[in-house]
Amino acid sequence: MKFLDKLGSPLLCSVFLFFVSALMLGFGVYGVAGSSSYLVEWQFFCLCGSDWTLPVIVDSMSVTFSCFVCLISGSVSLFSMSYMEGEVFIRRFMLLIMGFVGSMNLLIFIPSLVTVLLGWDGLGIVSFALVIYYQNKKSLAAGMLTVLANRIGDALLILAICFLVNWGEWRFGYGLFGDFGMLISLLVVVGAMTKSAQIPFSAWLPAAMAAPTPVSALVHSSTLVTAGVYLVIRFYGSLLESPDVLWFLSKIGGLTLLMAGLSACYEVDLKKIIALSTLSQLGLMMFTVGIGYPIIAVFHLFTHALFKALLFLCAGSVIHCTGDVQDGRILGSIGRLLPFSSGCLILSSAALCGMPFLSGFYSKDLVLEGAFSSLGGLAEVAIVLVGASLSLVYSLRILLMAVFGQSFGGSLVSFGEESGYVVVSILVLAVGAIFGGWFLQGLWVVMSGFDVISGFGKGVIVVVTFGGLVYVSVSYLKTWKFWLVTVTGVARFLSSMWFMNMISGSLVAGGGLKSGVLVHLHLDQGWMEVFGGQGVFGVVKGGTGLSYVVQKNSLLVFTRIFIIIVVFLLMLLIF
């Protein structure tokens, strides 16, 4: 009974989410995959020519996404039974997790921009509560940065809804276009960029790693950060009529892909490397939508959710069993101490790199083929290829630091062992990371068709996929002197996410503090003292003294006042 009282809530939530995931999978395969979409709509009232309705869309995209969200959430709940076993308020933690899953499903199934805002705001509020869960200075700072970045997206979506009043339709995504069409498209795209941490809103995603690892596996791998990508894909029908907005989205996605990949190659924190890899893949998805392949972007979004959640859970198992150590300079030789977690960490890293016949291979190969088939310039394609090739570099960094490297930590007394809940939760996602791409290929690739590229393009894709192996040769040949001489000059720029942290946090906060100090010096202690309270007090004091002198009933005073008035009147008559 003590066991059920303490850990019954995560176990119950896990079983419920696995059941819903299996139900969605069966319904998606047998009910929706081979047929058209269904749209159910309830009308509440009609006001000023606009119908206020609650639409619910059921198609292959929404059902499959909901299935994956519930599957990953169930695995995270099961993983929390071991990772959060010492947590006193485990029921409150699971309540936040279930609130997050509910908000995500509300966002998935409702195509109306007004009701999407409910799920969108719910994700922002619950994610803030999850990021600040440990309630220390680091988590509070990360939570404030997260919620402020998300509030920008909320404000932009509210502005888009205000302009949609001119259309009389809230379902922005069905090819409707009229006045303010391009402005509404731009507001939706920039709002989605805030949630998906695209440039210049990238700083909050690595900072949010201050949350517990189960939260990182759920929130920052497959749900919250992909909400922006899903929003752009869901409303792609209207965005297609604004090609300039899609052009802008593709350029921002390519830059985010390159920036996050380069930063991950210099990061030493294990969770932040994985967070930056998530940011890199989000940039790749946004780029894919921008060049006109939303179905392939959905395919990559689903496969990425599977292996990235697995990668987070494996990293969480390593951190939990090594006494909360996540510094890559200390970790090492985990393969001998935690063989199952290390093996699944290698598997998920291989899927992230796009190794053949794993889930990431099918979608990443299609994305790169789409980049070759698009009408983008040479520089754009080169940036995407370089950014995609960096995935093997930072994946190998994770493995060389944590699994195969030398350990510089303490004694083995502080090491723990993998519990059964951790093994089961990781095993469920490992099966998805192996077979997920093969399973989804029949559903999505048949719908999207395929592109025929030249043999040279296919060879370039193979070089991009395996080009990061040069990092292994550099590592094992110990040619670090050449590496440091050539790279140290730009290392600070690359490792700081192109100074995104300063732009998002230090620039705003520092500018506000500096302007506050200037206002305090020049106004509160400067001219405001003259024209403000002290100055008014001096004027009133002088006026009161003058009035007192005038009313003394002295003949000399009356004579002086008479002479002053006569002189003043004569001056008026003269001039």
* Residue 389: per-residue pLDDT: 80
40: in domain:
no
496: in domain:
no
Residue 442 in 3-state DSSP?
Answer: helix
272: in domain:
no
Reading the block at residue 421, the tokens are 């809940």
Residues 435 and 547 in one domain: no
Residues 476 and 554 in one domain: no
Its domain, for residue 433, covers: 287-490
* Residue 30: per-residue pLDDT: 63
* Residue 575: per-residue pLDDT: 66
146 Cβ contact partners less than 8 Å away, ≥ 6 residues apart: 127, 128, 131, 204, 207, 208
186: in domain:
no
Out of 431, 461, 490, a domain closes at 490
Out of 448, 465, 490, a domain closes at 490
* Residue 483: per-residue pLDDT: 46
* Residue 484: per-residue pLDDT: 45
470: in domain:
yes
Angle between the 294-321 and 270-290 helix axes, to the nearest 10 degrees?
180
* Residue 401: per-residue pLDDT: 75
* Residue 330: per-residue pLDDT: 75
Reading the block at residue 530, the tokens are 């003259």
Residues 460 and 547 in one domain: no
Dist. CA 169–CA 40, nearest whole Å: 16
CA neighbor of 498 nearest in space, from 180, 283, 202: 202
Q: What is the pLDDT of residues 174-211, one digit of tens each?
A: 655 666 778 888 888 888 888 888 888 888 888 888 77
* Residue 353: per-residue pLDDT: 80
User: What does pLDDT average to over the chain?
Assistant: 76
Out of 466, 490, 514, a domain closes at 490
pTM of the complete model:
0.80
Residues 444 and 554 in one domain: no
Residues 413 and 548 in one domain: no
Residue 57 in 3-state DSSP?
Answer: strand
Q: Within 10 A of 447 (CB to CB), how many other CB atoms are there?
A: 13
* Residue 310: per-residue pLDDT: 86
Domain total of the chain = 2
289 Cβ contact partners less than 8 Å away, ≥ 6 residues apart: 229, 232, 233, 236, 246, 249, 250, 253, 297
Greatest pairwise CA separation for the chain in angstroms? 113
Residues 473 and 550 in one domain: no
Reading the block at residue 509, the tokens are 């906060």
Which residue blocks in 32-112 are alpha helix, DSSP H?
60-83, 90-109
Residues 306 and 408 in one domain: yes
- Strands (E) in 356-455, as ranges, are none
* Residue 481: per-residue pLDDT: 43
Residues 557 and 419 in one domain: no
Residues 457 and 398 in one domain: yes
Residues 447 and 549 in one domain: no
53: in domain:
no
Residues 427 and 547 in one domain: no
357 — alpha (psi -120 to 50), left (phi > 0) or beta? left
Residues 344 and 478 in one domain: yes
Distance of CA 501 to the CA centre of its chain: 14
Residue 453 in 3-state DSSP?
Answer: coil
Q: What is the mean pLDDT of each run of 10 residues along the chain (575 residues)?
A: 60 83 75 64 71 78 84 85 76 85 85 81 85 82 82 86 73 63 84 85 80 79 81 83 84 86 81 85 87 84 86 82 73 75 83 80 78 73 80 80 67 61 81 78 58 61 65 53 49 64 60 70 65 72 77 74 83 78
* Residue 421: per-residue pLDDT: 78
207: in domain:
no
238: in domain:
no
